[in-house]
């Protein structure tokens, strides 16, 4: 069974940092691109970032570019999202999602398995 | 950045057929890039429903189908059931190196 389990969310002050993790099992992790998608309270889905299966290519939404780093440890079957300079607008449920193939091509890319999400709240 | 527009809500009675539209532009759907659909049941994570415009992952009932024409795509649900009550999101190319989601449509089963 394919499983994605996010962790690392919580309450953080404005301007602070947080690292989310996503532990996966049930598939060959290194063979698939991975993504982070967030959902603010009562709002829709927003793509945040993606990374290729090998980890050598990363992609970011304009809203987080320069503030976030996506990475993966294929030996630990774990995906990460490091978020810095957080503001209230970053408060959301952050979902880890598995891509359908090894590469991320935005023209065709979709996410076929999702984790349950980790909640990030930015507030003083 | 390219956008995808969905109606905020649709509704239908059990057994009926409903459609949810996803309007893009010549920068995404109209350019031939793939459209995908996700279902989000209340309080749960999104689930892939349709990929590459009209393909269903294993386990998704054939009551769900996708289509596209010009700069738009549609999700059709036939034989509506109470368990179909959820939010539905389309996704496609968002410009640059990004993907974009539609704003989501809330389906109410009357």
Q: Are A94 and A116 in contact (CB under 8 A)?
A: no
Binary contact (A106, B103; C-beta < 8 A): no
pLDDT of amino acid A99:
97
CA proximity to B87, closest of B101, B107, B65: B107
The nearest CA of chain A is from the CA of B1 a distance in Å of 10
The nearest CA of chain B is from the CA of A108 a distance in Å of 5
Segments in chain A below pLDDT 50: none
B64 touches chain A (CB under 8 A): no
Q: In the predicted model, is pLDDT for residue B2 greater than 90?
A: no
Number of Cβ within 10 Å of residue A76's Cβ equals 12
pLDDT of amino acid A30:
97
Q: In the predicted model, is pLDDT for residue B1 greater than 90?
A: no
Residues in B 10-29 with any Cβ partner in A closer than 8 A:
none
Write out pLDDT tens, residues B10-53.
999 999 999 999 999 999 999 999 999 999 999 999 999 999 99
Nearest by CB to residue A117, choosing from B1, B36, B45, is: B45
pLDDT of amino acid A3:
98
Binary contact (B48, A110; C-beta < 8 A): yes
Write out pLDDT tens, residues A61-71.
999 999 999 99
């Amino acid at each position: 069974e394919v499983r994605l389990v996010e962790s690392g969310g919580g309450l953080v002050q404005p301007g602070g940092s947080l690292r989310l993790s996503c532990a996966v099992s049930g598939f060959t992790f290194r063979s698939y691109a991975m993504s982070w998608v967030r959902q603010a309270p009562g709002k829709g889905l927003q793509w945040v970032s993606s990374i290729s299966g090998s980890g050598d290519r990363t992609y970011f939404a304009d809203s987080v570019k320069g503030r976030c780093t996506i990475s993966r440890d294929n030996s630990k079957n774990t995906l990460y999202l490091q978020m810095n300079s957080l503001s209230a607008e970053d408060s959301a449920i952050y979902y880890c999602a598995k891509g359908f193939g090894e590469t991320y091509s935005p023209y065709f890319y979709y996410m076929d398995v999702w984790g349950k999400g980790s909640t990030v709240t930015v507030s003083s | 950045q390219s956008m995808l527009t969905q109606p905020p809500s649709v509704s239908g009675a059990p057994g009926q057929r409903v459609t949810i539209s996803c309007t893009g532009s010549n920068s995404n759907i109209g350019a031939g890039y793939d459209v995908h659909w996700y279902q989000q049941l209340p309080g749960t994570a999104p689930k892939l429903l349709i990929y590459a415009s009209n393909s269903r992952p294993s386990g998704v009932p054939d009551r769900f189908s996708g289509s596209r024409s010009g700069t738009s795509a549609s999700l059709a649900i036939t034989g509506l059931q109470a368990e179909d009550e959820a939010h539905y999101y389309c996704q496609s190319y968002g410009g640059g190196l990004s993907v974009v989601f539609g704003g989501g449509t809330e389906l109410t089963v009357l």
